[in-house]
Amino acid sequence: MKHLRTFFSVSLILVLAATTLTGCKKQPPAVECPFTKMTWENSVDDVIAEEGDDYTTYESIYNGTTYEFAKNYLDQEGTVKYMFDDNDKLMCVAWTYGTDEEKALKDVYDKIHQDVEDTYGESGYDSENQTNYGDVWYLENGNILLMVVTTETQKALQYSYLNPEVSTKETEN
């Protein structure tokens, strides 16, 4: 009986030590992207199964492939882009929207901005530029970027969610 108690005591100490050393820490909550059900664990096949087989591809900035699908979001026709790295790991999901009307672009930006701010608080970045503006929410579980570019020939918005592996920390100004 004494050996049994010693065995359980030593086992308990080893388990506690192992969980402490391996960082039994709480994972940050997953960011919920409002324009797709995909998560960082999803594969190319998962994306195609969800979005359909009508897509275009091109090289992603993560040395893999970007898959682009038509996507209606907030009653606006745009595209959703799934950017994979060279190991077919999902690194970024972005919804883009273009229009000829600057007011329509600003309205969509304001709606998305308010939704993200209501969920995650104030942005950690503001470009403070009238024609090219946007915000970044620096989150432990991946950054969210909302950017607008307006030129004489182009008026576009991109709303992106970045994998934590490619997200940067907020810098001091």
Question: How do the domains of the chain map onto residue ranges?
Answer: 44-166
Check residue 21 and give its pLDDT.
37
Q: What is the pLDDT of residue 35?
A: 95
Q: 22 versus 138: which is more confidently predicted? A: 138
Integer angstrom CA distances of residue 52 from 64, 75, 153: 20, 19, 31
- Architecture of the domain whose range is 44-166: 3-Layer(aba) Sandwich (3.40)
Residue 48 corresponds to which tokens in the numbers above? 């195609």
Least Cα distance to 35 among 66, 84, 7, 77 occurs for 77
What are the pLDDT digits (tens) for 71-106?
999 999 999 999 999 999 999 999 999 999 999 999
